[in-house]
Structure 1
Amino acid sequence: MTSPLNAPVLIVGGGIAGLALGIALRRAGRDVELVELNSAWNVYGVGIILQANALRALRQLGLADACIQAGFPYAVSLHHEEDGQPQAARHKPSLMDEGLPASCGILRPALHDLLREAALSAGVQVRLGITVAALRHERDAVEVSFTDGRQGRYALVVGADGIRSHVRALCFPEALPPRFTGQGCWRYTLPRSTEVNSAVMYHGRQARLAGLVPVSQTHMYLLLLSEEAGNPRMPEAELPSLLRDRLQHFGGLIPAALSHLPGPEGIVYRPLETQLVSAPWHRGRVVLAGDAAHATTPHMAQGASMALEDAVVLAECLAGAGSLESALQDYSSRRFDRCRRVVEASVQIGNWQMRPEPGADQLALVREVAVELMRPA
């Protein structure tokens, strides 16, 4: 497989992985087209945590300072018993030697806007409301048919279209479907309390973990991880009452946060699912990135970090002097074990929350993996 990418690169999916890759490739001088099925090109309005390794990747894209300014950097996670009694203060691993904070909470729409504007300013050509319908592999290109009837020829196609990736279904039919872990995640945003200057977590009964995370000077978000046996459907109209019921035993700052409980439209509930595609992550000139290759749960707060790292590493590999085949092999080799570690550790923590084991230390595992991830991707 020859190396020159003399035709455009097509990115399928306009989320974190797709936008970050578009920025990275344009900075390297590549022609990039991006298609996104969601014609509104918006994201749900809850917060996200950018760990230090995510900020390192964002710095390579020229966006770390803007994200830190838009968000809320912090260095400590405060852990409590369910009733609010202090349990432990954990200092998060950081990259202060690189001038980066340990963590930065940010509103998800704010991060999306920063990535989107940077991609458009860099010259990424974006088309909304369409996706890939079919792919035909040729020796030196991929012929793509789109859902609007248009066709195109590309040097490389990147499936960055999320956990239910259509590109993955087309090119990796042997990949197992996403797996429900047994837990769900609830989130909503609210005004930031002056007491919330870091992540504040409450370890509750019935396999529940509640927390408050600052995402700007004015806002924070509440999250709850709860066991949801059988993956039940959550009727939207009942979301406030269902969430209030699951938080009823929590003390500390949670009761005050519940006074800001929004209506159904302001609450996001997602069943927790994982996906890990076996390496290599390419078939010919089609490659996967982000959740399409390795969807994880929020226990390590590393989903965005892994997507951003994918983008930076893939762009670096494509800039190498070897063939395209060797570049894509190198990408999988650099990313697979690191992403697998995050996925497996996150699942392990969730399992411990649902089925406690003697001697299991969730916080120790989180720190162990976080320290590992301080090493460059």
Structure 2
Amino acid sequence: MTDSRTLPQPPSGGTPTVLVIGGGASGNAVTVLLRRAGIAVDLIEARPDWNATTGSGITLQGNALRVLRELGVWEETAASGCAFGSLGVTAPDGTVLFVAEDIQTGGPDLPATLGMQRPRLQQILIDAVRASGARVRLGTTAESLDQDADGVSVRFSDGVEGRYDLVIAADGLNSATRAAIGITAKPEPTGMAIWRIAAPRPAGVTRADLSYGGPAYIAGYTPTSENTLYAFVVEACRDRAGVDPADYADEMRRLARGYGGVWPEITEHITDPAKVNYTWFDRLLVEGSWHRGRVVLIGDAAHCCPPTLAQGAAMSLEDALVLAELLTCGREWDDELLQAYYERRIPRVRRVVEASVQIGRWQLDCVRDADVAGLVGRTLTSLKELP
């Protein structure tokens, strides 16, 4: 691939063209925002189902909700999820130790936190992309990207070819595009792994609760609608080859049985291994720049962190908002603009990545006097500022 470091301004009077690779949160969001500005966007997604049925639940804090409001999907999101404003910390037996008020990172006019079913959020974003008029092709990948002084020529997996002014790589943690443009950074495991499942919501669950200690490092749950929640258990990561997917339910149930409160009711529903998700915690932060020539990374392709602060989706959505703002502000689409995107995002993203990893490291190292609450408070308070 030719590494062109200069992007000429889109042709005067012409409509700039953008290819978005990946239809997750960041790819969908940037597509909607660019289409709103009249930019022609093609979106390709490798999965034929557009990830519309994948995942258990997701926790969205106020700064994520702020972006969803900008996308025009806040009312539908609010109606589909469960908003709450506090976090409970319990002993493994279910005894509530204390309840802390959540920080409203999206401002006083949005909930501090909203839990929802991940497939429902994806469907809301899919509908917004469809309504935007973007051209969408599912089950499709980019096989080659060739840059020159005027654009990017793309050959797709179905043999079709396209030509674009800019390519936005939103193809996730293991981004093939990131590697294709010569960025060598790769995700690194942090030493923890998480078991997740969606389940019916027990009566009386009105907020997220976390329990530290017991059979695992963390056991928690978040309400995701009027009658659903997602539950998770965090332990030290195991060799993936040694974890048989057929045993996922048995393994999660074994860990969950060590917790009291509403956990026995949740555990009754951990029966189908196909509904249990097992994932390692990874860390990724691409340094220096998030672009090479006319190809730029957003979301998990550029950064990823453990969900200990529940900020992964928020950081990805903010990427989309900031990049779209810069691409539609009338400036020349050049190296300086794409570097400005990186410079604007990197301090905020680095703060979140480092804090998220540090919280997990303290647990792995059994640091008893770690200032977890202080680190969480400082980090989330800083996110009240606009990205």
What is the TM-score with the length of structure 2 in the denominator?
Answer: 0.94
* Secondary structure at the counterpart of residue 114 of structure 2: strand
* Secondary structure at the counterpart of residue 298 of structure 1: coil
Distance 1:96 1:165 in 2: 29
Give the match for residue 170 of structure 1: 180
Give the match for residue 128 of structure 1: 138
Give the match for residue 9 of structure 2: 3
Q: Indicate if the aligned counterparts of 2:195 and 2:279 stay in contact, CA closer than 8 A.
A: yes
Give the match for residue 363 of structure 1: 373
Give the match for residue 291 of structure 1: 300
Q: Quote the RMSD (CA, aligned, Å).
A: 1.5
- For the pair 1:198 / 2:207, whether they are aligned, the reply is yes
- C-alpha distance 96-324 of structure 1, shift in aligned 2 (>3 A): closer
Summarize the alignment of residues 212-361 of structure 1 with structure 2, pairs less than 5 Å apart.
212-230=221-239, 233-325=242-334, 326-361=336-371
Compare 123-132 and 242-251 and name the one that shifted more. Answer: 242-251
User: Aligned AA for 2:287?
Assistant: S
Deviations 1:66-123 (A, max 9, x none): 1111100000000011122222211111157551000100100100000000011011
Q: Indicate if the aligned counterparts of 1:11 and 1:160 stay in contact, CA closer than 8 A.
A: yes
User: Aligned AA for 1:39?
Assistant: P
Give the match for residue 113 of structure 1: 123
- C-alpha distance 96-314 of structure 1, shift in aligned 2 (>3 A): closer
Distance 1:249 1:41 in 2: 36
Give the match for residue 37 of structure 1: 46
- For the pair 1:153 / 2:167, whether they are aligned, the reply is no
Q: Indicate if the aligned counterparts of 2:105 and 2:381 stay in contact, CA closer than 8 A.
A: no
Identity of aligned residues (%): 39
Q: Indicate if the aligned counterparts of 1:196 and 1:212 stay in contact, CA closer than 8 A.
A: no
* Secondary structure at the counterpart of residue 231 of structure 2: strand
Distance 1:52 1:375 in 2: 11
- C-alpha distance 262-207 of structure 1, shift in aligned 2 (>3 A): closer
Q: Indicate if the aligned counterparts of 2:147 and 2:294 stay in contact, CA closer than 8 A.
A: yes
Unmatched 5+ residue regions in structure 2?
1-6
CA shift, 1:3, in A, is 2.5
CA shift, 1:355, in A, is 1.0
* Secondary structure at the counterpart of residue 73 of structure 1: strand
* Secondary structure at the counterpart of residue 184 of structure 2: coil
* Secondary structure at the counterpart of residue 257 of structure 2: coil
Q: Indicate if the aligned counterparts of 1:204 and 1:250 stay in contact, CA closer than 8 A.
A: no
Q: Indicate if the aligned counterparts of 1:71 and 1:216 stay in contact, CA closer than 8 A.
A: yes
Give the match for residue 62 of structure 1: 72
- C-alpha distance 296-184 of structure 1, shift in aligned 2 (>3 A): same
Unmatched 5+ residue regions in structure 1?
none
Q: Indicate if the aligned counterparts of 1:201 and 1:212 stay in contact, CA closer than 8 A.
A: yes
Q: Indicate if the aligned counterparts of 1:206 and 1:354 stay in contact, CA closer than 8 A.
A: no
Q: Indicate if the aligned counterparts of 2:169 and 2:178 stay in contact, CA closer than 8 A.
A: yes
Distance 2:386 2:208 in 1: 25
- For the pair 1:82 / 2:88, whether they are aligned, the reply is no
CA shift, 1:247, in A, is 2.2
Q: Indicate if the aligned counterparts of 1:83 and 1:251 stay in contact, CA closer than 8 A.
A: yes
User: Aligned AA for 1:49?
Assistant: T
Distance 1:7 1:150 in 2: 20
* Secondary structure at the counterpart of residue 66 of structure 1: helix
- C-alpha distance 292-96 of structure 1, shift in aligned 2 (>3 A): closer
Deviations 1:231-261 (A, max 9, x none): 5542111111111222232112212211121
What is the TM-score with the length of structure 1 in the denominator?
Answer: 0.96
CA shift, 1:4, in A, is 2.2
Distance 2:301 2:364 in 1: 26
Compare 299-308 and 321-330 and name the one that shifted more. Answer: 321-330
Distance 1:300 1:232 in 2: 28
Q: Indicate if the aligned counterparts of 2:215 and 2:258 stay in contact, CA closer than 8 A.
A: no
Distance 2:245 2:105 in 1: 41
* Secondary structure at the counterpart of residue 257 of structure 1: helix
- For the pair 1:51 / 2:61, whether they are aligned, the reply is yes
Q: Indicate if the aligned counterparts of 1:141 and 1:154 stay in contact, CA closer than 8 A.
A: yes
Deviations 1:102-161 (A, max 9, x none): 010010010000000001101111001111111111112111111111111000000000
Distance 2:26 2:105 in 1: 22
- Runs of 4+ with deviation above 4 angstroms: 95-98, 229-232
